[in-house]
């Protein structure tokens, strides 16, 4: 199967080399398109690769009926409507590591340039002036650098700042004292950072909670003569408040690589001699441009070919070692979800998933999501996938419960899926056997040993002599070959089940005749 990929922003040719080397990828590079042009041709593409120029709006995603993945060659995804992508089952991936080094280096370069007034001095020299007195700077050694946001880039800035013999104090809602101690920095509140720092650099994403986090009130809490750096996202710092703080003398200097509106239209901040700036160059190195495109290209290839993304934005991400442990259970979890949806037959109101054995040691959120996908595809269709499964479950008011238990019932690992409908419960359990693959080991209260693949038929019947023979004879009349058969019963002469694997789907007329066989209560075809 061939996949169509649109690259709508300039990307490094080296970066998209993995795509060009993959046989089933057909690439179209069309940069500088208007929104109307993008809307008119997006429908034919399976993947869209962008940087920050292309605005991937709700309308674009709705029009992209074949879109399976949107790749952002960079960190931020401000230009992509994540809610619309999630609703339509489109995975959004980015490259959080590819430009980390470049962005951190640029931050340190801006910090040192700010401290030593290098751009202003250079501009003066360009005017053929020899003015040494106006550009006396300050040393970094012994000063305090406050970092707001200690993610990948913030942490790299902290490491480099320690090399400049700066004291580092950092605020991040997820920063622990233990991690701060290991890094040799101080863990602090936002207010403590504002009070203590001689230099403040921001490295948070732009969210509702972080928009204008550095505002008039924040500037009031800072030391007189503080200097500000923003190489993260425009909008984290209130630019009007910064302008006022510089005029008031509270802020001695600011170094800005990003702005609230880009390309920059209002140059009032740059008219101040205390401000130095670059036009969003944090990731503008040859290496970074190659790295982010390479990372996104590999994720796009993996997703289109049925694999797992390393850097999904609208899916919870797990460490590689955890994903490696749980990945063998992906097929089992979806199959169990599909199976239990078939035998439930009605709309599901509640899903209970029980993990036991080795599985309890890991984060199993992706398996839960995969199970819910298997259930909902039965009722809502093939457009349900890993991205939007829990979204649709929420929309349908389906409660999802995930539990871990030490009870393994003799298995190294056991995954049990139970669904509640308005008329009762249905349950199935499965495991992964070393060297033998996935197995269904329980259906409701009956023990079985069934490979969850192909065309299955679940028959509920009374445990009486001749029941199996009658089923086999009838299927033979319709030229339906039985590949495997499993039976389970509660007690002699009581209720029982018969699980068949057949070579083709059972036609409706065959089902009707099977249901009329003596002592058969119900027949359920299951397509796995």
CATH number at residue 481: 3.30.70.260
So what's the pLDDT on residue 408? Answer: 65
Is 516 a catalytic site residue?
no
Contact 69, 303 (CB under 8 A): yes
Residues 306-332 as b/e (b if ≥16 CB within 10 A, e otherwise) read eebbbbbbbbeebeeebbebbeebbbb
Choosing from 106, 203, 280, 298, the catalytic residue is 280
137/11 same-domain check: no
Farthest-apart Cα atoms in the chain, separation: 108
110/235 same-domain check: yes
Domain count, the chain: 4
Question: Is 114 buried (19+), middle (13-18) or exposed (0-12) by CB count in 10 A?
Answer: buried
Domain that holds residue 195: 100-277
In-domain check, residue 282: no
Is 362 a catalytic site residue?
no
30/135 same-domain check: no
Q: Which pairing describes strands 3-7 and 47-50: parallel, antiparallel, or unpaired? A: parallel
So what's the pLDDT on residue 89? Answer: 87
440/516 same-domain check: no
Choosing from 262, 268, 383, 516, the catalytic residue is 262
- Backbone torsions φ then ψ of 415, nearest 5 degrees: -120, 120
Residue after which a domain boundary falls, among 452, 486, 506:
452
In-domain check, residue 242: yes
So what's the pLDDT on residue 423? Answer: 86
pTM of this structure = 0.62
Tell me the residue length of the chain. 528
324/308 same-domain check: no
145/266 same-domain check: yes
Contact 208, 196 (CB under 8 A): no
134/31 same-domain check: no
126/257 same-domain check: yes
Distance CA 257, CA 114 (A): 12
307/414 same-domain check: no
Choosing from 106, 233, 362, 378, the catalytic residue is 233
Distance CA 388, CA 91 (A): 9
pLDDT below 70 — which residues of the chain? 316-319, 407-409
Is 212 a catalytic site residue?
no
Which residue in this structure is represented by tokens 């703080």? 245
Q: What CATH number did the domain enclosing 228 receive?
A: 3.40.50.720
410/447 same-domain check: yes
So what's the pLDDT on residue 242? Answer: 98
So what's the pLDDT on residue 192? Answer: 97
363/509 same-domain check: no
Q: Using H for helix, E for strand and C for coil, what is the string for 90-139?
A: CEEECCCCCCHHHHHHHHHHHHHHHHHCHHHHHHHHHCCCCCCHHHCCCC
- Backbone torsions φ then ψ of 393, nearest 5 degrees: -60, -40
């Amino acid at each position: 199967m061939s996949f169509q990929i649109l690259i709508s922003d300039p990307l490094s040719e080296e970066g998209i080399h993995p795509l060009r080397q993959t046989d089933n990828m057909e690439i179209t590079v069309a940069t500088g398109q208007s929104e109307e042009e993008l809307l008119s041709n997006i429908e034919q593409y399976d993947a869209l690769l962008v940087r920050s120029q292309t605005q991937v709006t709700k309308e674009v995603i709705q029009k992209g009926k074949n879109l399976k993945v949107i790749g952002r060659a960079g960190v931020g995804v401000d230009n992509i409507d994540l809610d619309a992508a999630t609703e339509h089952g489109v995975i959004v991936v980015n490259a959080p590591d590819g430009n980390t080094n470049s962005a951190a280096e640029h931050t340190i370069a801006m910090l040192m340039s700010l401290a030593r007034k290098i751009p202003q001095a250079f501009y003066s020299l360009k005017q053929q002036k020899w003015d040494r007195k106006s550009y006396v700077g300050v040393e970094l050694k012994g000063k305090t650098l406050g970092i707001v946001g200690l993610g990948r880039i913030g942490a790299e800035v902290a490491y480099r700042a320690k090399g400049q013999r700066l004291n580092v104090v950092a605020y991040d809602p997820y920063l622990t004292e233990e991690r701060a101690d290991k890094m040799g920095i101080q863990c602090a509140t936002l207010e403590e950072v504002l009070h203590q720092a001689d230099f403040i650099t921001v490295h948070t994403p732009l969210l509702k909670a972080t928009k204008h986090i550095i505002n008039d009130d924040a500037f009031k809490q800072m030391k007189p003569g503080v200097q500000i750096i923003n190489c993260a996202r425009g909008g984290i710092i209130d630019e009007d408040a910064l302008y006022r703080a510089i005029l008031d003398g509270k802020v001695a200097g600011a170094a800005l690589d990003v702005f609230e509106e880009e390309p920059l239209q209002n140059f009032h901040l740059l008219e101040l001699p205390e401000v130095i700036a670059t036009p969003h160059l944090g990731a503008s190195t040859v290496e970074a441009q190659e790295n982010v495109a390479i990372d996104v290209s590999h994720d796009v290839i993996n997703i289109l070919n049925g694999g797992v993304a390393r850097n999904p934005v609208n899916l919870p991400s797990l460490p590689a070692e955890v994903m490696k442990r749980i990945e063998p259970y992906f097929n089992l979890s979806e199959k169990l979800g599909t199976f239990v949806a078939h035998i439930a037959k009605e709309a599901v109101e509640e899903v209970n998933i029980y993990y036991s054995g080795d599985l309890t040691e890991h984060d199993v959120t992706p398996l839960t999501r995969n199970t819910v996908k298997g259930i909902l595809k039965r009722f809502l269709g093939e457009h349900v996938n890993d991205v939007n499964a829990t979204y649709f479950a929420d929309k349908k008011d389906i409660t999802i419960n995930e539990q871990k238990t030490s009870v393994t019932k003799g298995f190294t690992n056991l995954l049990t899926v139970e669904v509640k409908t308005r008329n009762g419960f249905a349950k199935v359990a499965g495991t992964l056997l070393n060297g033998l693959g996935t197995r269904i080991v329980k259906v409701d209260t009956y023990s079985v040993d069934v490979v969850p693949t192909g065309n299955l038929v679940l028959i509920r019947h009374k445990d009486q002599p001749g029941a199996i023979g009658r089923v086999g004879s009838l299927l033979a009349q319709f030229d339906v070959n039985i590949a495997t058969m499993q039976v389970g019963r509660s007690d002699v002469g009581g209720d029982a089940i018969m699980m068949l694997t057949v070579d083709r789907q059972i036609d409706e007329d065959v089902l009707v005749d099977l249901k009329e066989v003596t002592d058969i209560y119900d027949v359920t075809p299951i397509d796995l």
